[in-house]
Amino acid sequence: MSVVENLPPTTIFVLEDDLWYSQFLSYHLSLNPDHRVEVFNDVDSFMSRLHEAPDIVTLDYYLPGYAGETILKKIMAVSPSTYTLVVSGQDDISKAVDLMKQGVHDYIAKNDETKERIWSIVEKIKQNISLKKEIEVLRKEVKQKYSLGTELVGSSEPMQKIFTLVEKASNSNINVTITGETGTGKELIAKAIHQHSNRSNKPFVAVNISAIPSELLESELFGHEKGSFTGATHQRIGKFEEANGGTLFLDEIGEMNINLQSKLLRILQEREVTRIGAKGTVAIDVRILTATHRNLIEEVKKGNFREDLYYRLLGIQVHLPPLRERGHDLLLIAQKLLADFCLQNDMTPKRISPDAQKVLLKHTYPGNVRELKAVVELAAVLSDKDVISPEDIQLPEQKQDLQTSPFPEEKTLDEYIAETVQKYLDKYNYNVLSVADKLKIGKSTIYRMIRKREVYLADKN
């Protein structure tokens, strides 16, 4: 069942000075009982009602006494969400192209095919409007019932418990340790805690310990003075100072070497930091949030992590369950990821069909939300329709080891798409038409990727 039920009628304003033609359009568009059609034979009366923000406007661009461009600009300014259709007695292709560059949705010439064409265009616009409203309602529903902040969604019992913990953590300055498999969204939890805390108007600084060479990490965290070591050509403040007054998120804290752990412990105890090469200290007021995919108490037993630092950082423990244990949360997350991707890439809003939802639910997602994001975004690119079908979903082969992600390398979405297309080209002997058919994408998309040297029609060597 659609999220959006009992949508209000589609409001269509018809601006046309030809009385017979305005009645012709009104009669034709009113055949659908879900349409509310208003006819305006003069610009002034039309302008006086424009604040009502109609869904669609059919505009006679060449009205006597008024420049069509002026009317169009007024529509864009007062009601930017309105779809404008120019209906003109002049079949001028160059003018049509120019108008659509200005924001007109479509240009329709008055001829024997006008009735069928305008009906078809209006139906497609209504589908877009419905999908946008569906996503808007879904966002509101998610925000009210299943979310914390703008990113974390879930209705499952584990996530509801996490929301409660995050809310409690946000109301204090206690340290927080976030655990969970790679890709479960640990940084999102940290950001949510910061955004809902009394430090929200101060910096949130994230540092991935595992991504920084150990010999550079001390300088990265604590800063250094000019000339303090070879290559230190200028003074640099560290992440602790950068986050002063706010929150410092230390991701993958279990990867920090034991020597640096001692310096971190001293900073947490003294609440002051010393840059490398400096004689004095800098007082800091920083809340510390940490995350790891390791079992830190086991690392303590092995001698890899200081016990005193472990208890200093522990605070509230938030464990993020893997996606495979969150049930139908997966569909809430998938639809949100899809809506965000379509919005960011100026694509027509899409939704996931019930059959495609079943396909998504069957997968175990070793890479968790990060993997789901890659799958959903690829499906959005591959789909030529407004609804994601099972054929659009390209799932990696399941791994026996659920801790092992099918995306071991960090790549961009474009790189993953190019890799998929290249594999199909290799498999089907570089037959572009066959690959386009198999992947359900336009052949022009593949030709564009070939021109940009993203894929090749033969061995690139």
* pTM, to two decimals: 0.54
**Is residue 291 included in any domain, yes or no?**
yes
Same-domain pairing of 23 and 47 = yes
**CATH number assigned to the domain comprising residue 74:** 3.40.50.2300
203, 284 contact by CB (below 8 A) = no
Same-domain pairing of 225 and 365 = no
Q: Which own/partner contact pairs does 95-99 have at CB distance under 8 Å and 24+ positions apart?
A: 99/61, 99/72
- Residue 449: CB atoms within 10 A of its CB come to 19
For the record, the structure tokens of 191 come out as: 């950001």
Location of structure tokens 């105890």: 269
Same-domain pairing of 118 and 233 = no
pLDDT for 136: 64
For the record, the structure tokens of 152 come out as: 């974390």
The residue ranges of the chain whose pLDDT is under 70 are: 1-7, 134-152, 397-411, 458-461
pLDDT for 428: 82
Distance between CA 246 and CA 25 in Å, rounded?
60
Same-domain pairing of 188 and 328 = no
* Total structural domains within the chain: 3
**Residue-number span of the structural domain to which 262 is assigned:** 154-319
pLDDT for 436: 85
Q: Can you tell me whether residue 16 is helix, strand or coil? A: coil
Distance between CA 338 and CA 109 in Å, rounded?
36
Same-domain pairing of 313 and 336 = no
Location of structure tokens 């993020």: 320
Rounded to the nearest 10 degrees, what angle do helices 354-362 and 368-382 cross at?
150
11, 126 contact by CB (below 8 A) = no
pLDDT for 3: 43
DSSP assignment of 246-296 equals SEEEEETGGGS-HHHHHHHHHHHHHTEE--BT-SS-EE---EEEEEESS-H
Same-domain pairing of 299 and 342 = no
Q: Can you tell me whether residue 57 is helix, strand or coil? A: strand
**CATH number assigned to the domain comprising residue 172:** 3.40.50.300
**Is residue 310 included in any domain, yes or no?**
yes
**Is residue 117 included in any domain, yes or no?**
yes
**Is residue 189 included in any domain, yes or no?**
yes
pLDDT for 432: 85
Same-domain pairing of 158 and 305 = yes
pLDDT for 145: 43
pLDDT for 355: 93
